[in-house]
Amino acid sequence: MNFIRTSLLVACAIAAPLAIGQTAPKLKVGLMLPYTGTYASLGTAIENGFRLYVTEQGGKIGGREVEYIKVDDESDPSKATDNVNKLVKRDHVDVLVGSVHSGVAMAMAKVAKDTGTLLIVPNAGAEAVTGSMCAPNIFRSSFTNWQPGYAMGEYMAKKGLKKVVTITWKYAAGDESANGFKEAFEKNGGKVLKELNLPFPNVEFQALLTEIAATKPDAVYTFFAGGGAVKFVKDYAAAGLKKNIPLYGAGFTTDGTLEAQGDAAADVMTTLHYADSLGTPRDNAFRLAYAKTYKLQPDVYAVQGYDAAQILGIGLLATKGDASKKAEFAAAVEKARIDSPRGTFTLSKSHNPVQDIYLRQVVGKENKLVSVASKALADPARGCKM
Ligand code: PHB
């Protein structure tokens, strides 16, 4: 009898920690990203980067195993509120990660603000997310649309270019990128002659290219990304514009797109918070691990996904895995230096990266580092009260 009781006790003592380990709830990460449409490859790169960091941590973040719940947001703002509500109210995710498209991200930020759900934005540059909508539970691992635009405006004006036409998609990302460019370019003596645009995600560029040819600016500044950027850069070259009217842009225009753009992208200069040839040990290790895992070269989107996971890890380390302890989470992230492949960065008070913006030039299949266009550039975070 005694023997049986002792055996049972021993068995329970051995089994108990295992049982606890098995039932410890997984950390539910809601990935709301585009997996179809012009931004599909961007969504995949973000997920790849996020998963790579989690895998490097043994599959756990904040001591909890990670479970992914995925939604294809199709870069469609009209479906975004329903999509994000599914993740928050049906799936009860601990954290939202998304998205690429600024309009979708603003809908996510609204729901995150209203419900208090943790949100990490791994791309979308909408200024409102860390501006008028800023909140203690909203973070961004990427950039604001203003940042690369502003850095390029300064660079092009200082280079002596005087008259520029901008061309982009008509939505928050395009508008804000072109406005950031214009702000710096005109402050430094340049003039934006025309602000051309077309609806997202249209790619019928011909009439606008004809207008550029007729306007004869010194140069063009552009923001496109993904499939649209591939077509724009090819059409610009095919229209014979490149030689007389050099093309400049936010780095998205040539990031993750060079294989498809081929020679059409040669020499194009862009500004971005990443480049293909940084050559730091941190970036080299990241690039090697990414290439081995996915048989693909990483791009800026992969870096932003990786860093979204790093930010989550830093916050959850401080809360011992509890995503609901928002003040402690935010305090830890706010004082962190994030060891990114792009170079270390901090988050501003409004939770947007304060980071170096690089000037890059397309050489072969790479966005080669030329110089640092703007050191530790912080978005002005207009409208953020926090
Ligand atoms: C955006 O909508 O904010 C956006 C989309 C794609 C990019 C960059 C920004 O590459």
Tokens of 113: 């603000």
One digit per residue, the tens of pLDDT, for the chain of length 386 reads: 444 444 444 444 444 444 444 557 999 999 999 999 999 999 999 999 999 999 999 999 999 999 999 999 999 999 999 999 999 999 999 999 999 999 999 999 999 999 999 999 999 999 999 999 999 999 999 999 999 999 999 999 999 999 999 999 999 999 999 999 999 999 999 999 999 999 999 999 999 999 999 999 999 999 999 999 999 999 999 999 999 999 999 999 999 999 999 999 999 999 999 999 899 999 999 999 999 999 999 999 999 999 999 999 999 999 999 999 999 999 999 999 999 999 999 999 999 999 999 999 999 999 999 999 999 999 999 999 98
Identify the CA nearest to 374 among candidates 279, 254, 250, 286.
250
Q: Nearest 5 degrees, angle CA 155-CA 157-CA 163? A: 130
Tokens of 87: 């993740």
Q: Identify the pLDDT of residue 241.
A: 98
Closest by CA to 218, choosing from 184, 188, 252, 194, is: 194
By C-alpha distance, which of 329, 350, 326 is closest to 130? 350
Distance 83 CA to ligand 1 centre (A): 19
The residue to mutate among 38, 39, 123, having the most atoms of ligand 1 within 8 angstroms of its beta carbon, is 123
- Cβ neighbours of 289 (radius 10 Å): 17
CA of 330 to the centre of ligand 1 (A): 25
**Residue among 299, 379, 298 nearest 346 (CA):** 379
Domains of the chain: 27-143+278-351 (3.40.50.2300), 146-272 (3.40.50.2300)
Q: What is the DSSP letter of 344?
A: -
**10 C-alpha to center of ligand 1: Å?**
58
Are 220 and 193 in contact, with CB atoms under 8 Å apart?
Answer: no
In the DSSP assignment, the letter for residue 345 is: B
* 16 CA distance to ligand 1 middle (Å): 48
The CA distance from 255 to 230, in Å, is 10
Tokens of 35: 């997996």
Element (H, E) at 22: helix 2-23
* Ligand 1 binding site (Cβ under 6 Å of any ligand atom): 39, 100-102, 123-126, 145, 173, 225, 252
Residue keyed to tokens 């939202």 = 96
- Residue 199 and residue 170: Cα distance in Å, rounded? 5
